[in-house]
Chain A
């Protein structure tokens, strides 16, 4: 009899896993609150380039035929009883559960942010918000653009700097740069948190005349005076604010409740991906509290680890990151590291930028698992050197 696998969530990790499992051995049910699958990296290009793309596909067409898709929202997970409960009242019993519940934006954490986001848009939540930000940039006629992340937890760590560099590029193209001030704020000690990548990024920011405010952890935004205040006591005035909102894990009640942290991220073993205290429950993607970047590559690789584990093959997640980083001007780099390897400093190039653009085109194929041999080859060739001998 096939083992029952419930996958909570419908993002990239969930979809790759659902398709990767052997459907003769596993009866797979995906529970997804949305039937629209969003290619999230496209939001950057909609917001800063007005890209006329549709980054959404029908989730039903992305899954193997034998995967059952339940369009519903998980509301409660009872781990001792091995049961998932949904908003419509369904109770799903499982042999294995994979939590791929992602993370969402939570502007309510920062006073004033919801009002600012509603007025100017953002590029980390929805297509509509990204289009609104593009309209805000189109309407901008000079002044101060302030961009930064409002919380240390950020989906796609390169995205704040990608945003400010693309804003700079846009203003130059529109001959507005002379009349504009660009300010980048960050809660970190340097513009990019990983020092080797920062060595590449900081000179670019300086070269483009972008001011940097370090250790700027947003406390509140005063829309009336157009000012952002930091916990550290600094403030900055804006004409156009572009704020990366705070992120939190999915709003799901757990039994026991202590399997999530205060920001609702699932407490997960960083190597086995098992949820704290559970042998048959795993967490992958942005919703897991793993000490690595919140980015699609993590979800992809973690899905592979869980698929191999469930199918009886030894597998362990090494924390690999592989975040493409658009540095504007048609150049890019990648943020490549792992638990055991410090981030590699990869020289910016047009090739890296082209690879990022290529991934946008092959994303939908990658969800079906058809490109796994190529991905395995790529991740093998580009594996960062481990800082300790014998590390997995």
Chain B
């Protein structure tokens, strides 16, 4: 397989974009990424678009072709991919694979979602399509409920407390304050978090990511194209060392242990092997903190933090921007927001900004970064490892 490089990134803010159509949000991010990349439109060989619920919430499909048409791309294959909350990460991997295989020399990955225009009940019903509803639906379980179940088990086994998990919320909300793309950064006290609206015990409102609108895009190219562009680009190249996708159980009963997601564990192991690095080499990660306890679990599943220590590390500041490993310096899903199909590409945008050393919450000497995008009840997962080429 050929080496793959990221040469262009673009992103809208995450939050409310009530006056813009879903396709125009995506167009904005793609055009920004193209300009950033200096790649001409006629060089693009494929476009992959990650999206989850444009059908139920917008009444729109074939978004990949629509976006390509709006910006005058050639008659190339344009494909929408879906893996619930991991849709963006899957689009990124497909674009990387198209280049790595030699099929094309340049490809676009874009993720997009608009959610804030819809009533909460409609959004909840649409998001619940990511469950194995035949098995888990009759109980009235929700996604916050899934992570409530996981939290209780983590607390029972490892002594993880409300205070530990609140440290994740305070960190990510605080990081979001400095990220201009973030939807809701905030300075929160432990008391404010603990006293917020109960959603599904022990999860409170501040433990949940918001619903969001947004789009993010990247342009990936072959090594030959990257070398030609290098002299004219205004920023360093970023190499894709690994872009892995895995499957896990779609249902609760299929998980051997609710405090770990197999799909993440396996994806991380494969990514480390492909990249030729270990967890200790990772300077920063943007991981899937859809709920506060998810960050604790993900950090352990990715091997960045010893099993059971995720809450303790957050509480001790070891996952802060200046910690042992910087987790969600962007603010993560909790503060930056979670426009579902865009999230995975938003993570790539953030990590590339870090590796270019231009991030508003810059991790000092950032050299290798990771993204982690998880869909459904752990049914789809992507992990990528990126390296800055200085």
Asked if A and B bind, the verdict is no
